[in-house]
Amino acid sequence: MRFRVLGPVRLEPRTPSAAKQRAVLAALLLRAGRVVSASSLFDELWPQGPPRTAATTLQVYVSHLRKAIGEGGGTPLETRAPGYLLRVAPGEFDLARFEELHRDGRGAARRGDFVAVSRTLGEALALWQGPAVSGVEHGPALAAAAARLEELRLEAIELRIEADLRLGRHEELTGELTELAHAHPLREQLHCHLMEALRRAGRTADALRAYRTVRRALHDELGVEPGPGLARAHSRVVGGPVPVSRSAFPVGSRRASAVPSPDDRVIRAHRRSA
């Protein structure tokens, strides 16, 4: 028996065909080992309000899930007031395995064992088969869980890439990082890693272009200048001083001072020399 939420919601060997059954399964899995109330499942299945037959319909969904899980040799789905409880062994659940590997990878990073970080987090990320909790409509709890899991995935990617950079693998990272930076234009750490990989590959012009791209996106979308990490990455590329502050201003507003920042002056100097 295998339970999967890191991608389409699946129950192997036989996934329920009905999307709402899969939504119930996802809600139970994301709180595995804890009781999930029937009322919270109503909210998940019918965000606009449950129909009069909601209790009966939910019982039917649970009955079908219980049969599918039982046929696969899994732990029975229990009825436990005020709702239901599903116990899942860690080896059966992709999310439990991912979280375990993620913890191990972070521990290896604290020890400075970057080979272990790269290997462990690479294994963790290989568990993903698409956007988390996909293939079902998201009520409030599933939407929040999907967002949390995506953040964990990105954190794991950033940490794995940092380890690979420390291991001198910048040449093989530039393509992956370019795609990631394009997909996440406001994710500063990914852009820092892209700039560092390009710098190490001797692609200074591309690294500066990457900086200008993320700087423009941050300004246009959030009304902020690059944070300390991006400022340090930029300074490593140009060999200048590292700015120590971050300025923020409302979207669409102008700075009170007309004096350009250190980053502005460096960019202008490069443009003049280009």
Q: What is the pLDDT of residue 245?
A: 37
Number of independent structural domains in the chain: 2
Q: Indicate if 185 and 132 belong to the same structural domain.
A: no
CA distance 71 to 228: 55
Q: What is the pLDDT of residue 73?
A: 61
Position 41: which residue type?
L
State the burial class of residue 126 (Cβ atoms within 10 Å of its Cβ: 0-12, 13-18, 19+): exposed
SS3 231: helix
Q: Do the beta carbons of residue 110 and residue 67 sit within 8 Å?
A: no
The percentage of residues in the chain with a pLDDT greater than 90, rounded to a whole number, is: 78
Q: What is the pLDDT of residue 69?
A: 87
- Secondary structure letter of residue 204 according to DSSP: H
| Domain end position, chosen among 109, 135, 167 | 167
Q: Indicate if 145 and 216 belong to the same structural domain.
A: no
pTM score, whole prediction: 0.83
Is residue 273 predicted with pLDDT exceeding 60?
no
What does the chain come to in residues?
274
Q: Indicate if 201 and 102 belong to the same structural domain.
A: no
Q: Indicate if 151 and 195 belong to the same structural domain.
A: no
Q: Indicate if 97 and 233 belong to the same structural domain.
A: no
Q: What is the pLDDT of residue 253?
A: 30
- Secondary structure letter of residue 165 according to DSSP: H
What's the order of all strands across the beta sheet hosting 78-80? 35-37, 83-85, 78-80
Q: Do the beta carbons of residue 98 and residue 123 sit within 8 Å?
A: no
Decide which of 90 and 257 is more confident.
90
Q: Indicate if 222 and 140 belong to the same structural domain.
A: no
CATH at 271: 1.25.40.10
| Domain end position, chosen among 130, 150, 167 | 167
| Domain end position, chosen among 113, 137, 167 | 167
Q: Indicate if 149 and 262 belong to the same structural domain.
A: no
Long-range contacts of range 7-10, CB-CB < 8 Å, 24 or more positions apart?
Answer: 7/128, 7/129, 7/130, 7/131, 7/132, 7/134, 8/129, 8/130, 8/134, 8/135, 9/133, 9/134, 9/135, 9/136
Mean per-residue pLDDT over the chain, rounded:
87
Q: Indicate if 233 and 161 belong to the same structural domain.
A: no
Is residue 185 predicted with pLDDT exceeding 50?
yes
pLDDT tens, 144-174?
999 999 999 999 999 999 999 999 999 999 9
Q: Which domain range does residue 68 map to?
A: 1-167
